[in-house]
Amino acid sequence: MASEAWQKIDEVLKELELATCDNKDSLEQFRIRYLGSKNIIKPLFGEIRNVENEKKKEFGQKLNELKQKAEEKFAQFQSEVKSKERSDAQQSLDMTLPSEPYNQGSRHPISIVMNRIISIFEKIGYVVAEEREIEDDWHNFTAMNTPEDHPARDMQDTFYLKDSTQYLLRTHTSSVQSRVMTTQEPPIRIIAPGRVYRNETISARSHCQFHQVEGLYIDKDVSFADMKQTLLYFAREMYGPDTKIRLRPSYFPFTEPSAEMDVYWGLKDETDYRITKGTGWLEILGCGMVDPNVLENCKIDPDVYSGFAFGMGIERQAMLKYKISDIRLLFENDVRFLRQFSSVI
């Protein structure tokens, strides 16, 4: 009986040498015969008990080699069958058929306008600065010279964190300016884009969240004329080389003197009359010289350094640039609306 087992091993080895597989069916038949739960090799392991003691080790090694050979053959055939299937699939592919439609994505108009503003100021040496959206009262209000009784500090205007009067969702990106001024030495030339929050009723013209870009330049001998020339450069890069601007006196707690800047939009059609209230001028940002109190709060000597700051709303810029009539469209993520910007970089 033992000699028959030796002979059976040799027969199975010869079978494996001559075996071929060229499709999934023959591959499965090979697996069942040599590697399946009832394969022809398994019974041979039971014959070990009938082999002479001195030959048991040799018999076991030969059986293991047989099993390993079957596994190697199966892996080889499996690879060949898969390769043949891929080749057949490629040969059957009609390269003249039209491709599947490719849905092109699009940038959000807020991102488009924000990136444009950033690129304009980066050309003249401004560096992007970003900070947290959950801010403390000191960096958001106190450092920026906002009085304790200022309406902006009221719960009706600011989103405070639950059970807290010290932490809030920032109401402007001026908090980025205060953090930069307390951690960096002048000269400072930054632009701070980001999302801000205010407790306002949502309508076609206002929202409880929106985006701002604020700029800050602090150095020795910085003047109001420097600010005006910088903002004129921005306006002409943003709206065209013939753009006119004007500065009107205004008030902001963190700048003195303060101003609001208008661009001449024109009165070409009824929309222009409506958005400019018949004047042709349109307000786009607020600006001013950094108040000495702000510099002192941030440990910068106002007798040595001066600077200017400005800030603008991104949504307003986007609505002007793309004639968008309702600010809510910018936050609803309606694909039909966003698809209009597919070709805009």
Confidence of residue 275 (pLDDT cuts 50, 70, 90): confident
Maximum alpha-carbon separation in the chain: 112
Q: Which whole number is the average pLDDT over 303-329?
A: 88
The domain covering 109-341 belongs, at the CATH homologous superfamily level, to Bira Bifunctional Protein; Domain 2 (3.30.930.10)
63, 44 contact by CB (below 8 A): yes
Average pLDDT over residues 25-29: 88
Q: Who has greater pLDDT, 226 or 268?
A: 226
**Lookup: tokens for 308:** 């200017």
Question: What's residue 156's pLDDT?
Answer: 55
Mean pLDDT estimate for the chain: 86
> Tokens for 310?
């400005």
Confidence at residue 213, expressed as pLDDT on a 0 to 100 scale? 94
Which of 28, 122, 124, 32 shows the shortest CA–CA distance to 81?
Answer: 28
Whether residue 241 has a cis bond before it, omega within 30° of 0: no
Among the listed residues 227, 171, 208, 239, the one whose alpha carbon sits nearest the alpha carbon of residue 315: 208
What is the reported pLDDT for 200? 83
Return d(Cα 306, Cα 189) in angstroms, integer: 12
Banded pLDDT at 343 (limits 50, 70, 90)? low
Average confidence (pLDDT) over 189-200: 92
Angle at which helices 2-18 and 56-92 pack, to 10 degrees? 20
SS3 262: strand
Of 320, 314, 333, which is closest to residue 194 (Cα–Cα)?
Answer: 314
Cis bond upstream, residue 257 (ω within 30): yes
Share of the chain above pLDDT 70, in %: 95
Cα–Cα distance, 178 to 307 (Å, whole number): 13
* Residue 147, pLDDT score: 73
DSSP SS3 for 286 = strand
The domains of the chain are located at 2-90, 109-341
Half-sphere exposure of 182 (CA within 13 A, CB side): 14
- Write down the pLDDT at residue 50: 78
Looking at 104-113, 160-169, 266-275, which range is the least confident one? 266-275
Q: Quick check: 192 and 177 in contact, CB under 8 A? A: yes
> For 35-40, what is the mean pLDDT?
85
- Alpha-carbon gap, residue 245 to 261, rounded angstroms: 7
Q: What is the pLDDT of residues 65-85, one digit of tens each?
A: 888 888 888 898 888 888 888
Residue 152 confidence (pLDDT): 58
Beta-ladder partners of 247: 261
Q: What is the pLDDT of residues 212-229, one digit of tens each?
A: 999 999 999 999 999 999
Tell me the mean pLDDT in the region 180-186.
93
